[in-house]
Amino acid sequence: MSNGRTSNQALPLPAWGVRLESRKIAAETGPINKMPPPGELIVALKQNVGVPAEPIVQPGDRVLKGQPIATAPRWGLGVAVHAPTSGTVTALEERPIPGAGGGTGESVVIEPDSKEERYAGYVAQPNPLGLSPPQIRNDITEAGIVGLGGALFPTATKLNPGSGIQALILNGVECEPYISADNALLIERSDQVLLGAAVMLRALDCDECLVAVKADMAEARAAVQEAIDALGDDRISMVVVPAFYPAGGERQLIELITGKEVQAGGLPWDVGVVCQNVGTVAAVAKFFGAGEPLISRIVTVTGNGVGAPANVEVMIGTPIGDLVEFAGGYTDAAAGLVMGGPMMGFSLPHDQLPVTKATNCILVADQAELDPSVREMPCIRCGECARACPATLMPQQLLALARGPDYAALESQGLQDCIECGCCDYVCPSYIPLTSRFIEAKQGLWENHLVAQRSERALHRYEARGKRLERRERDRSNELQRQVDEIGAAGEIDAEALRQLKQRVKSKKPGDNT
């Protein structure tokens, strides 16, 4: 792990990944703007990996800012959801929710009043570092905190890996071009991030925290360094990673910093590391330091189709249309909406979808950003994609197998380990959209698995039933044999009497009671 303290020297560049032109300038130069409550908030109940939260409010209820409106089920990685501001619940219904599936989700719709009246149930902790680790984890679940890098994995779960954690890595790398929300957060609120880090170190019972920032984020690096110096906690240091993509992927970042590879199907804590996005850490600090659960987040609104690109602190549930309006509105060039960055984001059908805890960027793209208007050509087997792949897969091979699709081979070639980063698309000289093919193939692989699982279970039950019927039959004949033996053992029945008895039983007609 890192020897010595903070160094401003960037780590060496790995063999994989691609260098992308940064497009952050537009948004990152300004301060974080706070957006006032919109006319309507649509708060989805499922904003985490796992089961949705269970609503505890009814239409017509008045809610306060930060009040829980849905609680975490005790199983299935649930986390709570809160009212982003004070107002009235107008509906509890299915609403369209952004997500790769494009479906709807049960949501609490709130009409905000302008009072921003606070819920009194949560207060600032005077000494959060004095809490016990289980208490900290409980509070984090209660505060509705999930991974804000976009994965939405419940944060408390990641803080409960058992023992043996050597380092907590705070991921502030943000390698997607265009996105600068974490960058802005580090510039303005590094002290908050470090407070959250201290709480997390306590929960993990761990003594080393590395704040990872990217080499080209000069201002953020200075801010982090300043905050570390001011805090004087020598457990926390900064590590600078080179500016390339996807340096901010969890597994990639861990490999860069520790040199250890998280195995396929494994988790970071297998190599003694827990990785948290800096926004998530700041949300933890906000709950313990100010008693505010996760009800807002920083979103980068950028692209050539928006009037005034900016980082906006916005309430969860704000319709994306209102958010774009706040950031200067659409320009004439606006041609499409993307949630997330250009490499891993997905396009949105319209702007009446709400901001969720996963929304780190809204890219209002112009025609050029949206469609490079190049035609896909055949694969020439140049191998560029294999060089770029951060998961050390062979995309050209996977592409050929996905055409079949040969699921067994795709699986043995590691399709599940594809992190869908888009590096192969970027370097492909034939402009083949490899990543979208892989996403499709993953779906097929998943369905295939389900069918195989069902079939295996059916076979198991069928065989178990066969054995049961056999056993029943055996027991029955054993019992019959036992009875016969018993009669035989009595020994006193003479053969003629037995014959007569059998005769009588035979001649007996059904229903005859004599």
Partner 1 sequence: MVAGLLLLALLTGLLGLVLVVSARRIPADAITVVDRLDSVLPHTQCGRCGYSGCRPYAAAIAAGEADINQCPPGGDEVIVALSQLLGRPAKALDESFGLAGPPIVAVVDEDICIGCARCLDACPVDAILGAAKFSHTVIENECTGCELCIPACPVDCITVTENTSQLDARAAH
Contact pattern for partner 1 over residues 145 through 184, marking x by CB under 8 A: ----------------------------------------
Instruction: Name the residue among 6, 88, 80 with its Cα closest to residue 45.
Output: 80
302/356 with CB nearer partner 1: 356
Beta pairing partners, 312: 33, 299
454 counts as binding partner 1 under rule CB under 8 A:
yes
Q: How many residues in the chain?
A: 514
**Token representation of residue 285:** 């600090």
454/499 with CB nearer partner 1: 454
Give the torsion through C-alpha atoms of 230, 235, 238, 244, to 10 deg. -150
- Using CB under 8 A as the binding rule, the residues of this chain from 84 to 103 that contact partner 1 are 101, 103
Total number of residues that touch partner 1 (CB under 8 A) = 17
455 counts as binding partner 1 under rule CB under 8 A:
yes
233/447 with CB nearer partner 1: 447
450 counts as binding partner 1 under rule CB under 8 A:
yes
461 counts as binding partner 1 under rule CB under 8 A:
yes
377/458 with CB nearer partner 1: 458
Q: Binder to partner 1 among 462, 480, 485, 498 (CB under 8 A)?
A: 462
Residue entry with tokens 């396929």: 264
Q: Binder to partner 1 among 124, 464, 493, 501 (CB under 8 A)?
A: 464
459 counts as binding partner 1 under rule CB under 8 A:
yes
446 counts as binding partner 1 under rule CB under 8 A:
yes
Tell me the H-state helices in 329-383. 367-370
Residue entry with tokens 């004087």: 232
Amino acid at 87: G
Sign of dihedral through CA atoms 65, 68, 69, 70? positive
Sign of dihedral through CA atoms 116, 117, 120, 125? positive
**Cβ-based neighbour number of residue 509 at 10 Å:** 6
450/487 with CB nearer partner 1: 450
440 counts as binding partner 1 under rule CB under 8 A:
no
- Using CB under 8 A as the binding rule, the residues of this chain from 43 to 72 that contact partner 1 are none
Strand 81-82, strand 68-71: pairing: antiparallel
DSSP 60: T
112/147 with CB nearer partner 1: 147
Pick the stretch among 59-67, 121-129, 360-368, 445-453 that binds partner 1 (CB under 8 A). Answer: 445-453
**Cβ-based neighbour number of residue 54 at 10 Å:** 14
> Alpha carbon of 471 to those of 459, 461, 463, 476: distances in Å?
18, 15, 12, 9
Rounded-to-integer distance, Cα 265 and Cα 302, Å? 35
502 counts as binding partner 1 under rule CB under 8 A:
no
Q: Binder to partner 1 among 19, 381, 457, 474 (CB under 8 A)?
A: 457
Rg value, the chain, Cα: 31
Residue entry with tokens 């901001």: 355
93/456 with CB nearer partner 1: 456
377/450 with CB nearer partner 1: 450
Rounded-to-integer distance, Cα 244 and Cα 261, Å? 18
458/497 with CB nearer partner 1: 458
Q: Binder to partner 1 among 94, 226, 376, 447 (CB under 8 A)?
A: 447
Q: Binder to partner 1 among 124, 458, 480, 497 (CB under 8 A)?
A: 458
Give the footprint of partner 1 on this chain (CB under 8 A): 101, 103, 443, 446-447, 450-451, 454-459, 461-462, 464-465
